[in-house]
Chains A and B, each alone.
Chain A
Amino acid sequence: MSILYVLIPLALLLLGGAVWVFFWAVSSGQFDDLDTPAVRIIMDDDSKPDDSER
């Protein structure tokens, strides 16, 4: 069971990383629009590849 003393802190480190990444994503505006992406997927566009900026 002593492996838990290693694995749990490791899990917490990963958790911290995930939270940090999410905070960064929210602050950079990626979650500002929570409505369009849900419908955007059904509007496949053949004219030009999706602009991946922002």
Chain B
Amino acid sequence: MTTGTETCFHCALPIPADCHLTVDMEGRQQPVCCPGCKAVAELIRDSGMSRYYALREAPDPGVGRPPDETAEWLVFDNDDMLAAFTETSDGVAEATVYAGGMYCSACSWLIETTLSKLAGVVSAEVNPVTHRLRVRWRPDGLRFSDILATLADLGYQPQPLAPENTTRPELVEQRAALKRLLVASLGMMQVMMFAVGLYAGDFQGIDAEMQRFLRLVSFFVTTPVVFYAARPFFKSAWRGIRTRKPGMDLPVSIAVGSAYAASVYATFTNGPAVWFDSVTMFVFFLTLGRFLEMRARHRSIDRTVALSSLLPNTATRVSGDSKFIVPVSQLQAGDRVLVRAGDGIPADGVIVHGQTSVDETMLTGEARPQTKSVGDAVAAGSVNIDGLIELSVTRTGSDTTLGTISRLSERARYARPAFVTLADRIASYIVIALLVIAAIVATAWYFVAPERAFVITLSVLVVTCPCALALATPAAFAAAGSRLSQLRLLVTNGNAIEALSRATVVMFDKTGTLTRGLPRIQSVVVLDESMTEYDCRLIAAALETASSHPLARAFATSASLPRVSQQHVEVGQGVSGIIDGRRWRLGSANFAGGGAGIDTGTPDSVATNVFLGSDDNVVAWFDVEDELRPGVAATLESLDRMGLRAALVSGDKQGPVEDLATRLGIADFHFECTPQRKLQIIEAAQREGERVVMVGDGINDAPVLSGADTSVAPAHGAMLAQTSADVIMLGDSLEPLTTVFQMSAKTMRIVRQNLAWAIVYNALALPLAAAGLVPPWLAAIGMSASSLIVVLNALRLSRFE
């Protein structure tokens, strides 16, 4: 059986029992699963980079993909392409390349170190978060294609980015946020220092001149904090007023604005107190919260790049008898394009020559290849499996099916009703109430003691400042987001945590979500007693070398294979060939048995059967099945304990889906679902009051993911699904899903505690301040302390295990 106890040193896939390859790594013989892994491991060792294995966080599941041919990259050496993708100054060219297939910091180390060793490379830097490589080199000694080919040889999928793509809006936003954060933090520290002097003066007495000076200085430092660092809050508050939906930022702005205005007034009129320290501290905490929130949001991977990474970089255009390799972006409708077996289809088109089977898993979720011949339409983003075909291009770029699906998912994402948080709703009522109360207090004191009216009103405004309330939710969410990202879970949508905590149903996709999406031989049944299981496997493996059908991967072995002659792929049927003078057929029952058919003795539902036959008799059959992702059973069990119902929606056929659902104990399952059907199932559940979490990957799921209340995607799903999902799970196991649910429940508990504390504090402080019992300096301390408690409580989330 294939599932040995040992796993490959390089790629961590199980080692086939008949494989005995090892690689000498720092004096130890480490097992590897195939000659390819052996070669890569040796390349890494011989380059002196064995430390890669110690540094990497997770084994690279991208291996096993054949390295791209260098010729493919040569097209990037022509002048047009160089002009489009590189910038040259002082004899040094610079380009930004998206390195597909990167998983961790060790990958970035490997890329940087390997490239730095190429003669002519000036510098190479990789950002492991955005998967972008910034490389500078001397074009007279090194070609751009060499760099791309080197990356491809390492097993990554390089994709040059045009320079304008590199100044992304996120980057602009991050730079602005960093500047604001620095102004707020430095301003706060300075003002705090002056405030110590002022408070000491309140108790011990202070020279009036000095007090005036310290206040003036505080005013100078606070002004940029209010007008620069806090500007986004004012802007958003103003937006809230205009749209008559007062949000969290309105109370924040009123607190900052009024405390600042009152302090300025006090500074220039020698009033009783200033609150510059409270203003700057408040702005700093809010800015910090926003900054952490923004960082968590930016961790989602750039969408446009993700989409086009499914497409090949280049296409072979045919005109007359000549063939040109052109970049995919230059294809136009009406072009003739040649697609080799194993290549991705670059644009939507109609087959004009040849026949093949096409893997459309990314577009339709159908794992089985579709047979296509002359006149059939094929879609960009699917993979040509067996045959050489020539296409007439009908649609390119964003007009393709792939582009349309992506637009659809975009629309579904924006059509989501704006989520109003509990805190926002409470805060907008509270701010209105506060303003009314402050007005009442001011009026009342005006009649009782007009000289104290202003100070007391200020105390009321400051002490009841809803900053604890305003911080309660964002602080908890920011702490939860950063802790989750440490646990290799990325939250891309701020509403996800709240929505997850209310979830009632978890719907799973099958292929690539519950299963790995990699078929394996589960069992072999030999009918001909003169044959051993091992012989059958060898023969099957030898025959399958001709095929690039996804199921063929299940047969791959490193053992030396018998020679096959007259190997022939019957599209949609199977493979045949002659071994030792005997004709063998591998494929469907009909094909292998020469049309005789066979009773397998098992229900058709079980996995997929592949038959091996010779001379019109079936000799053996293989039970090929997609392996379950690790942690599936444990995850489903803990979801059940948390009271969440699991459901299975799949685009696959009834048999495999029903089989899997029974095995995992999922009572609610749906099969042969198109994306539209999946969306209908979700909407039907939502109409019954269920809150649906969709766990899935694959582009066909993107609209479905957006339609669910919350969506979770495993990271090595299609890139598009990653970015439209609310939560992204890195790593192979499904178990982090449990963590997400536990974390969301705990986050919401802390948010509720924070809100409760803020409300209790305000309820206690308000009457005291209104009664004139709280001097402004005590009000400021009370306000800061209440916010601090809220922040510290939120930080407990960052220790969540």
Contacts and interface: CB of A to CB of B under 8 A. Distances in A.
B324 interface: no
* Tier of interface size on chain A: 20 to 34
A4 B213 contact: yes
Interface in A22-54: 22-23, 26-27, 31-36, 39, 42-43, 45, 47-48, 51, 53-54
B175 A31 contact: yes
A36 to B, nearest CB: 6
Contacts of B194: 8
A36 B122 contact: no
A1 B207 contact: yes
Given A1-B207, A23-B179, A33 B190 contact: no
A53 B122 CA distance: 10
Interface in B74-120: 105, 108-109, 113, 116-117
Contacts of A5: 213
B572 interface: no
B176 to A, nearest CB: 9
Given A18-B186, A47-B48, A51-B123, A35 B210 contact: no
Nearest to B295: A34
Contacts of B126: 36
B440 interface: no
A54 B186 contact: no
B171 interface: yes
Nearest to B134: A54
A35 B207 CA distance: 49
Interface in B181-217: 182-183, 186, 190, 194, 207, 210, 213, 217
A32 B217 contact: no
B220 interface: yes
Nearest to B176: A26
Given A1-B207, A23-B179, A51-B123, A36 B108 contact: yes
A20 to B, nearest CB: 11
A19 B182 CA distance: 8
A19 to B, nearest CB: 6
Contacts of B129: 33, 35-36
A47 B105 CA distance: 18
In this complex, which of A5, A9, A18, A35 has the most chain B Cβ atoms within 10 angstroms of its Cβ? Answer: A35
B178 A31 contact: yes
B332 interface: no
Nearest to B132: A33
Contacts of B220: 12
B174 interface: yes
A26 to B, nearest CB: 5
Nearest to B170: A32
Given A12-B220, A27-B175, A32-B175, A51 B127 contact: no
Contacts of A45: 113
In this complex, which of A8, A34, A47 has the most chain B Cβ atoms within 10 angstroms of its Cβ? Answer: A8
Contacts of A1: 207, 210
Nearest to B174: A32
Contacts of A34: 174, 295
14 contacts: A8-B213, A8-B217, A22-B179, A27-B175, A34-B295, A36-B108, A36-B128, A42-B55, A43-B55, A43-B109, A45-B113, A47-B113, A47-B117, A51-B116
Interface of A: 1, 4-5, 8-9, 11-12, 15, 18-19, 22-23, 26-27, 31-36, 39, 42-43, 45, 47-48, 51, 53-54
Interface of B: 48, 51, 55, 105, 108-109, 113, 116-117, 122-123, 125-129, 171, 174-175, 178-179, 182-183, 186, 190, 194, 207, 210, 213, 217, 220-221, 295
Given A19-B182, A26-B178, 6 more contacts: A32-B127, A33-B127, A36-B125, A36-B129, A42-B55, A47-B117
**4 tightest CB-CB pairs across the interface, nearest first?**
A51-B123, A39-B105, A33-B127, A35-B129
